[in-house]
A and B are shown apart, each in its own frame.
Chain A
């Protein structure tokens, strides 16, 4: 990751206003999907199909949320066009953060299960 490869910051061509607005719409739709999924599974409109979705609810929701996260980071925060170094400085901690959350949840779940079972 030798940063000298590009000695000067290239004139960044940030996306056009149209792209920003379209991304904004997609974000809005994804949020609506999240809430809709919740309503469909657990909310007032939940039916028998909702019960069938329940096992997939959490993964689906996390997927949608990850999608929104990626869109904002890539387009609004310009990671897609900017220097790769910025992506590295953001994504490396992000990976460690994710592993940390997973690790802690797994370790604590084991503790709680083992301890409370006596």
Chain B
């Protein structure tokens, strides 16, 4: 079929245009919830400003030098029979110039860098909330020593208040990385490292372990849930009530504000209200939780939670967005699947397959779902 030039043109664009849209989309930070390019805290802004400054200089240098190279490549094409070009061996003045200019550019990068180093290394004072972060193979423990609370894989923080993180590890080296709020800080066994930031906007944001830490390094994610001070207080008050038995009525979880841009809008894990302690499935699950040995590794209390457990604290597991450190969405099916076959889902995880039947899993899910 013959094509007119115009339609050929059109067809070519029809191919290229979606590709361009795709590329443009793939290049825009808005496409990436875990991006480092849209900072949401004072700490992250320090690094971002420096990075932008460096990037501008780098882009300038890139354009000039690659431009000169391309120009030379085309301009100085020769033929074998061309006369020999003039044999220049060097030029001291030019060489001094192109030693000094990069030095000046580097100074323009170094000054804000040094300022940023000291800013980010400062120890925060005043009204700070201390959180102790413990990396485990392969999940995160968050302890609030002043509030006497413990939770796992979801870091709740108040907006507008500086959080001071004291980080450590229970086993090997990990790296704590909440990209929207701060850069990485490695966590070591028997050594404390520090990190701080003040969140600017509420929402739920992804974070991840960034240091290779064994077979499931890839599945060691966490969520940062920045909340307005009032919501955070509500959450704290609620958590304070979480002893061995969860409160009969969980707070309305829709009150959590998640509408900000870039945050993952959470899908409500379950449509029906969670089972209470009176539910027979709950009671069966409670028995199984002890009988299957779950209690050996998991605590169900947020207050005065024991230290050094192998598995994450489950006091409010029913309300979390993900299970297994960011591996699966926290739906009833996923939770049941996880309880029955953790080794199939996250091979090498320290939780063994315990031979839980489908029925037992349903009961355990009912029990855990009630822990909000």
Q: Chain B binding site: helix, strand, loop or mixed by DSSP?
A: strand
- CA A11 – CA B190 in complex, angstroms? 60
Tell me the total A-B contact number using a CB cutoff of 8 A.
9
For A115, the chain B residues whose CB sits under 8 A away are 188, 190-193
For A114, the chain B residues whose CB sits under 8 A away are 192
For B192, the chain A residues whose CB sits under 8 A away are 114-115, 118
B interface residues, Cβ below 8 angstroms from A: 166, 188, 190-193
Which 5 A-B residue pairs are closest in the complex by CB-CB distance?
Answer: A115-B191, A118-B192, A115-B192, A111-B191, A115-B190
Over the window 80-118 of chain A, the binary record of Cβ atoms lying under 8 Å from chain B Cβ atoms (1 yes, 0 no) is 000000000000000000000000000000010011001
**Chain A interface extent, by class:** under 10
For B193, the chain A residues whose CB sits under 8 A away are 115
- CA A46 – CA B340 in complex, angstroms? 71
Which residue of chain A has its CB nearest to the CB of B190? A115
- CA A118 – CA B166 in complex, angstroms? 9
- CA A118 – CA B193 in complex, angstroms? 8
9 contacts between A and B (CB under 8 A): A111-B191, A114-B192, A115-B188, A115-B190, A115-B191, A115-B192, A115-B193, A118-B166, A118-B192
A interface residues, Cβ below 8 angstroms from B: 111, 114-115, 118
For A118, the chain B residues whose CB sits under 8 A away are 166, 192
Other than A115-B190, A115-B191, give 7 A-B pairs with Cβ distance below 8 A: A111-B191, A114-B192, A115-B188, A115-B192, A115-B193, A118-B166, A118-B192
Shortest beta-carbon distance from B150 to chain A in Å: 19
- CA A67 – CA B188 in complex, angstroms? 41
Shortest beta-carbon distance from B120 to chain A in Å: 15
- CA A102 – CA B190 in complex, angstroms? 24
Shortest beta-carbon distance from A7 to chain B in Å: 27
- CA A115 – CA B192 in complex, angstroms? 5
Which residue of chain A has its CB nearest to the CB of B188? A115
- CA A6 – CA B314 in complex, angstroms? 79
Which residue of chain B has its CB nearest to the CB of A117? B192
For A111, the chain B residues whose CB sits under 8 A away are 191
- CA A114 – CA B166 in complex, angstroms? 12
Shortest beta-carbon distance from A116 to chain B in Å: 8
- CA A109 – CA B152 in complex, angstroms? 33
Shortest beta-carbon distance from B161 to chain A in Å: 22
- CA A53 – CA B15 in complex, angstroms? 84
Shortest beta-carbon distance from B132 to chain A in Å: 11
- CA A65 – CA B226 in complex, angstroms? 60
- CA A2 – CA B193 in complex, angstroms? 50
- CA A106 – CA B190 in complex, angstroms? 19
Which residue of chain B has its CB nearest to the CB of A111? B191
- CA A115 – CA B191 in complex, angstroms? 5
- CA A33 – CA B297 in complex, angstroms? 61
Shortest beta-carbon distance from B360 to chain A in Å: 43
- CA A111 – CA B191 in complex, angstroms? 8
Shortest beta-carbon distance from B304 to chain A in Å: 21
- CA A114 – CA B190 in complex, angstroms? 12
- CA A114 – CA B188 in complex, angstroms? 13
- CA A62 – CA B190 in complex, angstroms? 33
For B190, the chain A residues whose CB sits under 8 A away are 115
For B166, the chain A residues whose CB sits under 8 A away are 118
- CA A94 – CA B193 in complex, angstroms? 34
Shortest beta-carbon distance from B348 to chain A in Å: 29
Shortest beta-carbon distance from A41 to chain B in Å: 34
Which residue of chain A has its CB nearest to the CB of B191? A115
- CA A111 – CA B192 in complex, angstroms? 9
Which residue of chain A has its CB nearest to the CB of B166? A118
Which residue of chain B has its CB nearest to the CB of A112? B191
- CA A118 – CA B164 in complex, angstroms? 13
